[in-house]
Amino acid sequence: MSELKDVLLEATKEAGRIIHNYFEGTFKIENKDTINNLVTEVDKLSEKKIIEIISSHFPEHSIISEEMGTLMQDSPYQWIIDPIDGTVNFAHGIPICCVSIGLKFNDDMLYGAVYNPMMNELFFAEKGQGATLNGMPISVSRKSDFRTACLVTGFPYKWPNNSEHPIRVFERFVLSGLPVRRLGSAAIDLCWVACGRFDGFWEYNLNSWDIAAGYLIVQEAGGRITNFEGAPYDVFDKETLATNGLIHDDMLRLIKKQSITTEDKQL
């Protein structure tokens, strides 16, 4: 198990070094399926380095990566990679972006690492062993009064036709008087919930590489993560709600547009 951890951290740090070296420099930028869904040559360089490191140690393992897709092997081990989460931020010189790598064994997330080299913040979690920021233990906030919660969300480039428009849900939170931030990196959003900077996060239509590492980091920091029905979460779900656990039901109620109590109307 220690070799798996060592390889994950090596790949995370090497990719972070690439991102940091190119940050605010010159690089090629392309569009994917929409004009603002970007990929840079640095995404591809970061991804290439990560896969090179993993494959040199574990060539039999499966890999899911944002730019390259799925490299499927007959293995219970699955590396889930986002070479740069927050590519739009990176392309515009905004230092809220990161490399995110999670390692899944069958149905369990074993390890997760999220590294923002511009802020020198490395979040890490091992299943059953807690979560850390730069080696120091972290935990979610203890805020239980939903009226004073600080939240974060994101908006997808596309959303399922059978889902409520994300702006309508966002509007309910804002009209309730709650501060809501939008950073542009789901992996960082989750880590900032895990270390108590935010009390809750929700977003539609994320991909496994956006979530895998942060999912485990939130859990190991004592938080709760579910879909919008409150059911146990899977990294391939398209609805993500992560909180400190204490405000989880309050957030579910607003997301699902359920009746507001008399106390909530005072928000």
Q: What is the third-level CATH fold of 2-137?
A: Fructose-1,6-Bisphosphatase; Chain A, domain 1 (3.30.540)
Q: Residue 253, by phi and psi: left (phi above 0), alpha (psi -120 to 50) or beta?
A: alpha
CA distance 223 to 233: 12
Cβ-Cβ contacts under 8 Å for 47 (sequence gap 6 or more) = 15, 65, 66, 67, 68, 81, 83
Cα 50 versus chain centre, distance: 18
Task: Determine contact, residues 133/123, Cβ cutoff 8 Å.
Answer: yes
Q: What is the third-level CATH fold of 146-258?
A: D-Maltodextrin-Binding Protein; domain 2 (3.40.190)
Per-residue confidence band for 31, with pLDDT thresholds at 50, 70 and 90: confident
Mean pLDDT of the chain: 92
pLDDT tens digits for range 158-189: 766 656 788 889 999 999 999 999 999 999 99
Per-residue pLDDT, 116: 98
SS in 3 state form for 11-31? HHHHHHHHHHHHCCCCCCEEE
Max Cα–Cα distance, the chain, nearest Å: 59
CA distance 13 to 59: 20
Q: What's the token pair of residue 145?
A: 């009064």
Per-residue confidence band for 260, with pLDDT thresholds at 50, 70 and 90: very low
pLDDT surpassing 90 at residue 3: yes
One-letter amino acid of 159: W
pLDDT tens digits for range 102-159: 999 999 999 999 999 999 999 999 999 999 999 999 999 999 999 999 999 998 877 6
Angle at CA of residue 242, ends 167 and 127, nearest 5°: 150
pLDDT tens digits for range 209-244: 999 999 999 999 999 999 999 999 989 898 999 999
Between strands 108-116 and 121-126, the pairing is antiparallel
pLDDT surpassing 60 at residue 267: no
pTM of the model: 0.93
Would you list the domain boundaries of the chain? 2-137, 146-258
